[in-house]
Structure 1
Amino acid sequence: MTTEITKETMGFQTEVKQLLHLMIHSLYSHPEIFLRELISNASDAADKLRYAALSDSTLLGSDPNLEIRVGFDEDNRTVTITDNGIGMDRDDMIANLGTIAKSGTSEFLKNMTGDQQKDSQLIGKFGVGFYSAFIVADKVRVESLKAGETQAVSWESDGSGEFTIEPAEKSTRGTRITLFLKDDQKKFANGWELRSIIRKYSDHISIPILMEKNEMPSEDEENKDEKKAPEWETVNTAKALWTRSRSDISDDEYKEFYHHISHDYSDPLKWSHNAVEGKLEYTSLLYIPSKAPMDLYNREMDRGLKLFVQRVFIMDKAEEFLPLYLRFIKGVLDTNDLSLNVSREILQKDPQVDSMRTALTKRVLDMLSKMAKNDPEQYQSFWKEFGQVLKEGPGEDFANREKIAKLLRFSSTEDAKSEQTVSLEDYVSRMQEGQDKIYYVAAESFNAAKSSPHLEVFRKKGIEVLLMCDRIDEWLMAHLNEFDGKQFEDVARGDLDLGKMDSEEDKKAHEEVEKKSEDLVKRVQDVLSEQVESVRVTHRLTESPACLVVGANDMGAQMRRIMEAAGQAVPDSKPIFEINPEHPLITRLDQEQDEDRFAELTKVLLDQARLAEGGQLDDPGAYVQRLNKLLMELSGN
């Protein structure tokens, strides 16, 4: 049953109004991008119709040949893009043309600076789809008839904040978009201009893009006033790019195809195009983007490859072919080994999907490994954008854990720079003689990690320590137990064991200090019994008076903060308080006879240890009062 349509005036979604205002009033360095975006949308409409026709062949009717037509009228300053794809009804138009469904839009708008040049570049990189029409047009009309329905619908807007929807006269399936060009954009109402844009941006589109032939003026006086029916010609290659031989495809064509499937105006960092034959037959074209999308860290983001079966479009976001930690990969997969009526439920159970997933995951990891080896600078650019997501890999992909580990990058005490450039292979190659562990410290920030008191003994002995400050690092290390046969050890957890790095002389000195400090340790333990698990003499510190240590089986401070911020229950645990008896403050503490004053000084040291590791105080006011009291005593007041 077809719902009767009357003329309605509606307002754009808030984000759309903001985006339209920015595009209309900002400088835009690539206005011709509108044609690429609208042709890409028309191509998607054709793909959707092909897929829908698998279950209902009547949708194709008497017009099975899918195509896109681009027309223009120089006198009236209009450009028209027409397709005979799936079409839209009233609800489709409101959903597709009145809102932006792309996640990350709010974050995108927050990044706008007010600088026209910077903002225009950001708009271009974001990819604005249908709304790019308003860059060149002061009015846009969309007329569409959805396949299988009888009532066409018209949508019209000048981009000022409202749009109208009303019935339309259109008897053929598909969508016709008419752009009424701004006076300063009238150059686009020209056949040569439109042809050059199509060949530059949309040559890879797999269905024909037609334009009227350019006819030379007739010199025949008798026939010069006779109007001939227009002849249309295909102006693109009209062959799916991934079906062509790699040797026949230029880098520019690969890049434009990436723009088409990703709606990302930035060029990709790398790509891999492969045809596999044998037990499985499929072709894949995988891209590594150069810039992370706004919603990269949202694990529920739309992701996956465009799936084609025997050249027929099946699914826009087939997420089953790559693991979640590779969700940034864009591309196309075309296979002969799945049925045309494949559904998401079938994909999840098909063993052939598992085989392709394994092979495609290996291909992406191999791409990254080659990049890291052959072009470290380019890989560093990749790591800056996607490193934190790749760190999810060891916990999700046991089979490829070693491969992923080789791709990880960290900061370290070797150069103490915040940029993460040190690989685990680099670290192992620099390990000292007798060193059998990979040491690391996890903290809330790079500065907190770099300044951690737990590093003092390692600096003294010249042992390199990895500095971890990404929020995912502690979770990562819970799943990455070893590398190249070397165990990882958190320098702020459990008993510190330097193994052969500690001489017999060092061990004997430690034992003597422990024995000598037994009474002091007991006094401190009595004061802090409710706040710490235990008190002991440290082997980690050379310059600081005290530090906090996490129990060997307890959750680290960084992970606790993450879980608490997420509102999750965190198991109760207390830290271990380690003191350095050779530090002047601890020596002074040991000499204090007034037990109340001793307790106050001890609590100040505990709070300082919490602050040194980047933690927060339970009672900042009490800490300030104690510190002020001590300062007043020192000043003689």
Structure 2
Amino acid sequence: MTDETAAPAEKHVFQADVARLLHLMVHSIYSERDIFLRELISNAADACEKLRYEANSDSALTQDGEAFSIKVALDPEAGTLSVIDNGVGMNRDELNSALGTIANSGTRAFLEKMKVAENSPNAAELIGQFGIGFYSAFMVADRVVVETRRAGEETAWRWTSDGKGDYEVSPLPLGEAPARGSRVILHLNEESKEAYTKPYTIERLISEHSSAVATPIDLVEKPGEEPRRIGEGAALWAKNKSEITPEQYKDFYQNLSGQFDEPALTIHWKAEGRAEYTVLAFVPGSRPFDLFDPSRKGKAKLYSRRVLISKDADLLPGYLRFMRLVVDSPDLPLNVSRELVQQNAVYAAIKKGVANRLLQELTKLAENEPDKFDEVWKHFGAVLKEGLYEDPERRDALLKMARFATTEKPEGGRSLTDYVANLRPNQTAIYYIAGDGAERIAASPQLEGFRARGVEVLLLSDPVDAFWASSATGFDGKPFKSITQGSADIKDIEVTDESQKKDENPEASAKFVAAAKGVLESVVEDVRVSDRLSTSPACLIAPEFGLDLRLQQILASHGQAPDKAKPVLEINPAHPLVKALEARTGDQALFEDAVWLLFDEARLMDGEQPHDSSAFAARLIRVLGKAAGAQS
């Protein structure tokens, strides 16, 4: 026995207030107790990586030829959980440095900074400077023992602490020590013994948090049993794309998403620059059941060096929430909670880069494989269009890929590029109508004049359409214009359907409009002759300035409508009913009833109730009565 191994055990005092530090970890750093296993496995994996690196210059360190591995060993009877690696190990000085001086700070200044940072937006930057993952073990253990031997050295050491203020380092007989590496033994506290000595619990935690670390992981369910491999030590996203088969991508997607369909699109890339990260992303082949969940959260797993930081990271804008992906960056700190990671500057850069690249890939799919993209849009177009309202910075990219139902293509799939390429002579805008259901709005009377002129109109039937269309500036230099708001501005577009050309009497129409305006002045802003009607007698239009009719309806249904602006009633002077009324302006009672009925009929066509249901019924009976009397 050497003089070193014969030396008595030495006691040392921690260079920080451990009780205070553990409190900080529980309440400020770690979100859940389960995280301790992730931290210990991460440390074990780092030890293996360090030895692999050192062996490049000193092959004697791994001359035994033993493959790198991590074992998690359970002993339900003794109430212990051990994490064992055959990595680089530690000597006495390294033990004191790594485990004796908490976070390598060595002073109370560490705790003072932590105290200041607890409620600071810069806490993540501070916490990330300190290596404190190991001490998460004290959240579940009354006592922690570390038995370790530095690779290439002939001495071994045992570190022991109850986490209450001091620790002990003593020589460890080589017969009890690992050949190389470390053995971390947690003597679990009473509230943790049952949970963390159950094999299925440990396997679940490893699968969820550490299955992608670069070192294989084995589970020993009880003393004397053979190890069982539960982690292969290979992350699919870390491999070259050329090494991965479509079937492997599919299997990974199904495991990641919990769905059994095939991905519609697989996107795999590595980014370098301000932040280094790897992304493996999938567009599902069918709608996830929670696509319209009110929380609108995505399903992104965030890793740092193949160790899970968060299984539901806020990496994607809400309108890309249907995508399933993993992101792995060596530049992100491990030993902080998901909340603090998300305040990290590198995280912000990754978040922006990931969203931009995913939109580029979707645009590329739309351009190169339109049939395939049409299926993606069919499932997720309503969600992607949320970005047209929420993300002005990326609006142009989203508009370029967007697909619509139109009067020319009511089944959908029409791009704005194709729309603009087929503008009619003298057409200066991209026209749209918003409402409930493409079929219903396709029957709207406001469309008649546009159809007569061969002008294509977008049929927008998703709730978000009324919001983005009213705020979007345009596409390819052409503004968006609602056909249910303001003037139609289509007089200069030639009518292509000769049967729709109007036979008008301007003087009679002017007289009718003036009389109708007097009848309806309490409920409409104006009455005017319409350019957009050809077969219906009347329709309602929102004023030039203010909210579109559909947007007013949506806001009203959510109790958020401002003071509702009076609509404009447009009449079709060529319609037989209007012509007949023009000749009956002298019968004041009949004229007033008929004008009110025209107004209420226009409301019904827009999905609204009559202005006054009782008055509507009474007027209808009076007019029908007169019609019946005239026939008799």
TM class by smaller structure: 0.5 to 0.7
Partner of 2:176: none
Cα separation, 2, equivalents of 1:282 and 1:439: 43
How do 1:524-543 residues align onto structure 2 when only pairs under 5 Å count?
524-543=516-535
Out of 609, 615, 623, the residue aligned to residue 630 of structure 1 is 623
Partner of 2:88: none
Partner of 2:35: 48
Instruction: Give 3-state SS (helix, strand or coil) of 1:454's partner.
Output: helix
Partner of 1:284: 279
| AA of the residue aligned to 1:447 | E
Choose 562-571 or 575-584, whichever is displaced more: 562-571
Instruction: Give 3-state SS (helix, strand or coil) of 1:486's partner.
Output: coil
| AA of the residue aligned to 1:278 | G
Cα separation, 1, equivalents of 2:579 and 2:268: 68
Residue identity over aligned pairs, in percent, reads: 34
* 1:272 and 1:285 in contact (8 A); partners too: yes
Partner of 1:293: 288
* 2:213 and 2:305 in contact (8 A); partners too: no
TM-score, with structure 2 as normaliser? 0.65
* 1:514 and 1:537 in contact (8 A); partners too: no
Cα separation, 2, equivalents of 1:559 and 1:333: 38
Matched, 1:616 2:609: yes
| AA of the residue aligned to 1:267 | E
| AA of the residue aligned to 1:469 | S
- Alpha-carbon deviation of 1:206? 6.8
Partner of 2:257: 262
* 1:51 and 1:314 in contact (8 A); partners too: no
Partner of 2:114: none
Cα separation, 1, equivalents of 2:511 and 2:423: 38
Instruction: Give 3-state SS (helix, strand or coil) of 1:615's partner.
Output: coil
Partner of 1:173: 196
| AA of the residue aligned to 2:612 | D
Segments of structure 1 that go 5 or more residues without pairing to the other structure are: 1-44, 71-82, 86-144, 152-166, 179-201, 213-227
| AA of the residue aligned to 2:365 | M
Out of 603, 606, 610, the residue aligned to residue 596 of structure 2 is 603
How do 1:9-408 residues align onto structure 2 when only pairs under 5 Å count?
48-51=35-38, 148=140, 173-177=196-200, 208=216, 231-232=226-227, 234=229, 237-319=232-314, 321-344=315-338, 346-408=340-402
Q: Deviations over 1:266-306 (max 9, x none)?
A: 33221211112233211111111222233322342442421
Partner of 1:469: 461
Count of aligned pairs: 463
Cα separation, 2, equivalents of 1:378 and 1:473: 23
* 1:412 and 1:422 in contact (8 A); partners too: yes
Cα separation, 2, equivalents of 1:325 and 1:169: 41
Partner of 1:501: 493
Q: Deviations over 1:419-442 (max 9, x none)?
A: 321111121122123322111111
CA RMSD of superposed structures (Å) = 4.0
Query: Alpha carbons of 1:270 and 1:501: their partners in 2 closer, same or farther (altered >3 Å)?
Result: same
Partner of 1:181: none
Query: Alpha carbons of 1:232 and 1:343: their partners in 2 closer, same or farther (altered >3 Å)?
Result: closer
Cα separation, 1, equivalents of 2:535 and 2:382: 33
Partner of 1:479: 471
Cα separation, 2, equivalents of 1:204 and 1:46: 20
Segments of structure 2 that go 5 or more residues without pairing to the other structure are: 1-31, 48-67, 75-80, 84-136, 144-189, 202-209
Partner of 2:13: none
* 1:147 and 1:173 in contact (8 A); partners too: no
Out of 575, 584, 590, the residue aligned to residue 567 of structure 2 is 575
Partner of 1:129: none
* 1:299 and 1:324 in contact (8 A); partners too: no
Cα separation, 1, equivalents of 2:467 and 2:356: 23
* 1:437 and 1:486 in contact (8 A); partners too: yes
- Alpha-carbon deviation of 1:337? 1.9
* 1:273 and 1:284 in contact (8 A); partners too: yes
| AA of the residue aligned to 2:557 | A
TM-score, with structure 1 as normaliser? 0.64
- Alpha-carbon deviation of 1:515? 5.0
Instruction: Give 3-state SS (helix, strand or coil) of 1:339's partner.
Output: coil
- Alpha-carbon deviation of 1:52? 5.6
* 2:69 and 2:215 in contact (8 A); partners too: no
Cα separation, 2, equivalents of 1:169 and 1:576: 71
- Alpha-carbon deviation of 1:68? 7.8
Query: Alpha carbons of 1:443 and 1:242: their partners in 2 closer, same or farther (altered >3 Å)?
Result: same
Cα separation, 2, equivalents of 1:293 and 1:420: 22
Query: Alpha carbons of 1:483 and 1:50: their partners in 2 closer, same or farther (altered >3 Å)?
Result: farther
Partner of 1:451: 443
Cα separation, 2, equivalents of 1:512 and 1:489: 27
Query: Alpha carbons of 1:294 and 1:347: their partners in 2 closer, same or farther (altered >3 Å)?
Result: same
* 1:547 and 1:577 in contact (8 A); partners too: yes
Partner of 2:58: none
Q: Deviations over 1:220-265 (max 9, x none)?
A: xxxxxxxx96544537633122112211112222222222222223
* 1:46 and 1:66 in contact (8 A); partners too: no
Instruction: Give 3-state SS (helix, strand or coil) of 1:273's partner.
Output: strand
Matched, 1:441 2:428: no
- Alpha-carbon deviation of 1:169? 11
Choose 454-463 or 264-273, whichever is displaced more: 264-273
Cα separation, 1, equivalents of 2:387 and 2:283: 16
Instruction: Give 3-state SS (helix, strand or coil) of 1:605's partner.
Output: helix
- Alpha-carbon deviation of 1:345? 5.3
- Alpha-carbon deviation of 1:386? 1.1
Q: Deviations over 1:184-237 (max 9, x none)?
A: xxxxxxxxxxxxxxxxxx99797746599xxxxxxxxxxxxxxx9654453763
Instruction: Give 3-state SS (helix, strand or coil) of 1:272's partner.
Output: strand
Query: Alpha carbons of 1:236 and 1:66: their partners in 2 closer, same or farther (altered >3 Å)?
Result: closer
Choose 549-558 or 528-537, whichever is displaced more: 549-558
| AA of the residue aligned to 2:597 | V
Partner of 2:484: 492
Query: Alpha carbons of 1:557 and 1:66: their partners in 2 closer, same or farther (altered >3 Å)?
Result: farther
Query: Alpha carbons of 1:420 and 1:408: their partners in 2 closer, same or farther (altered >3 Å)?
Result: same
Max Rg structure: 2
Q: Deviations over 1:467-513 (max 9, x none)?
A: 1111111101023221011111111110121274259xx9xx99985
Query: Alpha carbons of 1:171 and 1:437: their partners in 2 closer, same or farther (altered >3 Å)?
Result: closer
